[in-house]
Amino acid sequence: MFKNYCTAQGVRPRKFGLDMDVRWNATYLILKHLVPHKHVFSMFINSNYGSKLLSARHWYIAEKILEFLELFYDSTVVLSGVYYPTSPLILHHLLEIASHLHASKKDQNLIVVVYPMKLKFLKYWHHIPLLYSFAFILDPRAKMRGLFRVLKLLKESTSCDYTSYYADVKTEIYKLFNKYERKFGAAMSQRAT
């Protein structure tokens, strides 16, 4: 019916994806493709299913949700990459997500969604695995100072204290380095400069 309506209006018809329960990003993708065609879609819905079924307020909410979900979609795409290392990037994206949730908690349109998301975020990321911190530290752009800054910013966004975690990471990375030094240090000192 939508195709026939678009043809009658002289607009190129567009197919939209279906929402899928097993794909969290389906909602984002549907909204991303639907919002640019909101005027035609609203006219179609309102003319066939009752006037004012889709109002400007509905589209405003849809655009807010689209804007809110964009960061999650982008982070998922970046962290799902296979042709580059992703483990050094995880803390960057965790910080972006935490800051995004913190900034969005004041939005009255999203408050019902943001609070449970923040709880779920803290459930999984309150205790950051050491592997991600090691990968972050070994990235030449970050190092230990960068980890300290990221944990400080995470504390501001999540209200979780990462002071003891930073001390644990520092202790563990020194232990790992000393183990490496004991095992391979003699071979390194035998090399010519």
What is the distance, to the nearest Å, from the Cα of residue 49 to the centroid of all Cα atoms in its chain?
36
Indicate if 26 and 54 belong to the same structural domain.
yes
Structural domain boundaries, residue 41: 1-80
What pLDDT is recorded for position 10?
A: 79
pLDDT in the model for residue 191: 63
The pLDDT value given to residue 9: 80
Among 31, 65, 80, the domain boundary falls at 80
Q: In terms of domains, do 104 and 57 share one?
A: no
- Looking at the structure, do residues 67 and 115 belong to the same domain, yes or no? no
- Residues 93, 178, single domain; the answer is yes
Helix pair angle (130-138, 90-104), 10° resolution: 110
Q: Are residues 66 and 91 in the same domain?
A: no
Q: Are residues 104 and 170 in the same domain?
A: yes
Does one domain contain both 91 and 126?
Answer: yes
Give this prediction's pTM.
0.83
Residues in the chain: 193
Residue 111 phi/psi, 5-degree rounding, is -55, -35
Out of 80, 100, 115, pick the residue that ends a domain. 80
Domains in the chain, number:
2
**Do 135 and 151 belong together in one domain?**
yes
Would you give the DSSP letter of residue 83? S
The tens-digit pLDDT sequence of the chain (193 residues) is: 878 887 888 778 777 777 777 777 888 998 998 898 888 888 888 887 876 778 888 899 999 999 999 999 999 999 999 999 999 999 999 999 999 999 999 898 898 999 999 999 999 999 999 999 999 999 999 999 999 999 999 999 999 999 999 999 999 999 999 999 888 877 666 665 5
Question: 54, 46 in Cβ contact below 8 A?
Answer: yes
In angstroms, the Cα distances linking 46 to 43, 55, 65, 147 are 5, 9, 22, 53
- For residue 57, being part of any structural domain is answered with yes
